Structure 1
Amino acid sequence: MANVANISFSKLIFDASWCIFLLTSLAHTQNTVVFQPSFLTTTGPRVTAFLLGNTTDISLYVRSVFPSNTTGSIEPPSCVAEDTQWVLSREQVGKTALQFQLRLDRSLLLCGDNETETDCCPQPLCVLETLQVSACVGSTPQASLLIQVKIHALLVPGNAAPENSTVIPNQIYQPLGSCPCDLTLRACDVRCCCDRDCSAEDLKLFESHCFPVPFGGQTPADPDYQCSVQSSDNSPDWFPFLCVSSPPENNPYLGLFYQGDTIPPKPGPSFQMQALSAPEPPVLYIQGSPIFTLCDQFLTIPQMVLGQCVNNAPVAFLNNFEVRCVTLLRSCPTGPYLQTQPEDLMIQVKNGQGGGVVVDVVDEEVLDVSQFISSKDAVTSLDTGLVCENVTLGLHYKFYWKENSITSITVTRTVGTIALNDSGVLTTRYSAEFLSGDFPGDPNSGNPGYQVGRPVIAGIVDMLDNDTGPIQRTLVSLWKPVSDGLCSTVETKPILFGENSTSGCLLQVSRQNLSQCDLLRETVTTLQSSLVTATYVAKRGNPDPEMLTDWVNISFMTTNSTATMEGNPNSCYGIPSHQQIHVWSLVTGMIDGIPQREILSLQVSFGLSSWAVDCGGGDVSTCVDLMETQFFPITSSVTFIDIPINTGPPKTSFQINFTEYDCNRNDICWPELAFPVTKYYTGEQYSQSLAKGLILAFFFIAASILGTPWRQIRQAWN
């Protein structure tokens, strides 16, 4: 039960800490201060709360407040110090959090009949009041917290034991207590026959229903299977061969006994709360554990939590992520993470082996920031409006790891200059990617088999001096539409192993383009061919560029270009608008229980379609104006096909239905009756287990022949 309580309390502390991180980041972005929680009810003499936000120059004041006689509302916050029976202490936690504690400065003991001391509780309800904690900057209140206090007096029994050491005698082979079922002090426990608090009249009520030994405080009797119990007169024939010879001290309750020792008491208040301890960094990183800096602080990157971006979110080891955070700008940003300098990012991170690695920063400047900012008030010209320079538009981290340690870290900082008239919506991008290796290089997608969700590795042959050289890695991609989804602004994304996907973009086509069908087909074919520029695909997730056997050729299905002439000048036939990629994979084996998947073939084909101008809906401008455009879709898809493993000829109906001798589908397994003498038993050598089994069978046959049944047969025969 103690372990369960510790786990539950640890989870509670983790959830509270996570909420504090979330609220801290929100309060910091608004440059305000808030109490967390905003209202408290306490029944103990200690109260702990947090003040989140810009806590610089903040002073805390505590006072007792009462409802107004006319309105019934609580008095407004005040920045004047008052004398109370509470002591206020504070501690700064990070840059944007302040932890404070209120402690009751009086005794909680109930006053006796002839008590002369005033520092005691005259009534069982000792303290009943409402406290108001105000956060002020100078004489101006910024936030307030109400605390409802309701504390009862501490009741101490009259015959309490003295606070000295308790000596437990030697408990070897004895219960920890002489009567384990005696759970209530100075009271008779029902069905506990060894409880000394029970009178003779009490014992008569349940003496026939006492708890079984040894928890009832009685000495356990020797079981029937002990060799010392049965005598030669009444023992069965099998008893000498199957009885157990064991001393009575060897019993399953030895785990409840131990060598007694001195246990000093731990004095402390009746009401106490465990203080929040700082997180202890792990010795070795494991998947999911937070990454720490050399200052024992979390390495944080903005992440999405509960639908909102949190600036101070810890980075978990081996957990990749990619998020986009939306921020409404009314002025140029001044704080992190929208304004970061390279020296702010070049921090030292614990590598998991007792040392540290320094984050390597690479700057990347973006000239066209239209994909990062969008608003009706945003402007594209830097000559008008408010100009914000060196705004951090993205942070892309790459962590290189080996076993349980981090070998190196690189971050690409994307900066740009934005301009806006009144306000603008800024979309920033943050990502973290963990790559296996000692130094930056080509990441693998498995070891050796492909892992689901990792990119499919492709390659092209690097020709050196007209000879075949090593294979240079590349990727097979799909369309990744952004912003307006047009093919002119489209991006690409790699194909992930085992994940089927379909995507595309829109191509603007006019009547003039449809009058030149050959040129239109060539343009669409060029767009689609840019997705697959490789000629080889890796069989496994860790291919060797020097070994051609680790790669297979990519099959390209040529499109059957129709010779049909376009009879309508407003339409074109045979447009390769859809690219289909089929990947055949197979499970080739198991390593540590993990299936190893391998690519057997990759085929690229095109689906042809007809494009024609649509003049429906009353809009005939596209049929009249040669330069009027319409949108036509260009799509790409990938499909993964698993090849089943050949498991041999199919089973007959008798093999499927007959389960009497199938140990996996039947509770009674007759083949396992002689398991120690079969080849499946690996506890010892097969020859030794067979010899011991034959000897045991001989003894059983001899016992049955010399036992009672054969003795009765011989007597009847004589």
Structure 2
Amino acid sequence: MPTPENFDQLLQEFGSASFSAEPDSWNVGTDAPSPPDANETHRYEFGVPVQTEDAFLRLPSAVVSSWCSDANPAGFLVNQATKCIRSVSVEGCESIPALSMLFYINSSILAVPKSSQMVNITVQSIAVQSLHGTRTLLSSSDVLRLPRILDELCINAVLGVSYHITYTDTGEIIEAAAAFVLGAIKREAHSIQQSFEISFTQANTEPVPLSGNPGYVVGLPVRAGFLPKGSGITQSTKRLGQLTVVQSVSNQDCLAARGARAPVLFGYNMVSGCKLRITAAMECQPLAQTLLDMLKGQSFPEFVASFGNSQAQNVLDWVPITHLHISEQSSCQIPVSLGIEVKWTKYGSLANPQARIVNVTATITSTTLEQLPSGKERTIAVTSSVVFTDISSPAEPGYKAWPTINIKLPFDFFYPFV
């Protein structure tokens, strides 16, 4: 921490154009930054540095000043794009590690933290940039091009690296590739600008279908999802994995309808239900939990998309679902109905209004389960309902203010009569 007493000493040590911010070695056992909780987990979590066999995947960036620092780790699922300045010299370019392709692919990535399973970084493509800025994509990327001196130029120097990481839904990295941009450095140049990017793609995923562009279309399912800690909205590619209600079955038996679900369609008010036969041997708490799971489904979502094309990364475009519980004061309460109210409004111009969801409320209504005499049975109705309410303000035509008449006659208008 700089203080008035040690400021001059720190300025002398770190105030030059570049300084070493790295330890001598990048062994995992050294004082290099270690990801929180990485030693205890067996999967990558959002923001945790991507580990390699010697430390972590480096993504050079400008930390203190515009000069490159190789101590910046790449965070899992954190797409980044950085640019920084690196000090170079043509005479020693062959010995500068950051100018060589090997510096970025020679360390294998750990598939999961603290594991022995390695994922090699393959070369996806190599593009050569001329001194005039034009780029040529090489036909083959199998041969590494290392920096070397040719006619007072340092050729094959790394100007840019783009990492592409493929992972599974369990937080395991399965593929890693790097695309390089190589260029030449003139003898009179003392520094170059390097660019670095990293992106993550989940394997075996299908695009989530939209329900309008941008506003909802009547009859298409309402899009819903969850918000894991520190990431964007997570959606299921299946309609029955989003906002659903109990689907009525022919025999009206709730136990048979437990797995039958119907998606909530925008603009369609829905009522569905079933009947449950209760005996004296049934216990209150297990029965209440069974009914609640049946009404909500396997996983009830947390957020609903405000527009039919809301992007998962734009969390502010998603509306949280408000939960309400209506019950009586008694010892045994069982849920008997789930009511979903979706409030929406018209958004945009009068000529082409777009449907936008502004509020979603899920209300669970419970009733008292009275103890039945031995051998007696009782049948109760369990219902689900969906209501769409248009809360748009009525459009009123507006007019501009009428022009005011300001008459001024010339001073000799009545001459020669006055």
TM-score w.r.t. length of structure 2 = 0.41
Query: Which has the larger helix fraction?
Result: 1
Higher relative contact order (CA 8 A, sep 6+): 2
The structure with more radius of gyration:
1
After TM superposition, the score normalised by the length of structure 1 is: 0.25
